[in-house]
Chain A
């Protein structure tokens, strides 16, 4: 079975540019999560969706960050405008309903803002 698919795997761009990260969750999963991982702050939950609806976006750092899930098989995380401090690895994860259900992670997007 295909796992969570993220694209691109690496992104290098200049400060001020718009960045769009993409995620395809596992088919049949109704929860989708976006995380950011840095050395300084570790793994942070940015936002999560249930049945394509954003449930908790309290982890989104600023208005420059936005996330959408137009359908059950696709989500985007957008940063506009990007800043060097946004450099991190961004992970997408998905799961089915239920606290005992594990989250399945993609391989992440390594983002570098110059």
Chain B
């Protein structure tokens, strides 16, 4: 069965600093991969997705993610974090056999001014 691991439960960064949130997956083939963000009191919003082609994917709000097959990873990055990026971030995969997503447990990002 497939799984998604987000090893960091909580990360704190200073505003303006760079950010990398880790995501590792377990699946026998290349899955479809997604990053979602959840601001307090809101639903999950899609940041970006990977399904084929270029392994560096650009998303909204200045985020990008890189798919590395050899490491089974799909880490999310942002070169300069803004205070408004404070939220919870979820990595998810879909194996393509159904539209059901497998979510990681999330990483809560705190941004200090």
Contact = CB atoms under 8 A, between A and B. Distances in A.
Interface of A: 4, 31, 33, 42-43, 45, 48, 50, 55-56, 91, 93, 95, 97-108, 110
Name the prevailing secondary structure of the B interface residues: loop
Contact of B51 (A4, A42, A55, A100): A100
Contacts of B44: 91, 93, 103, 105
Contacts of A42: 103, 105-106
Interface string B68-108: 00000000000000000000001000111111110101100
A42 B5 CA distance: 13
Name the prevailing secondary structure of the A interface residues: strand
Interface residues of B, number: 25
Contacts of B99: 31, 48, 50, 95, 97-99, 101, 103
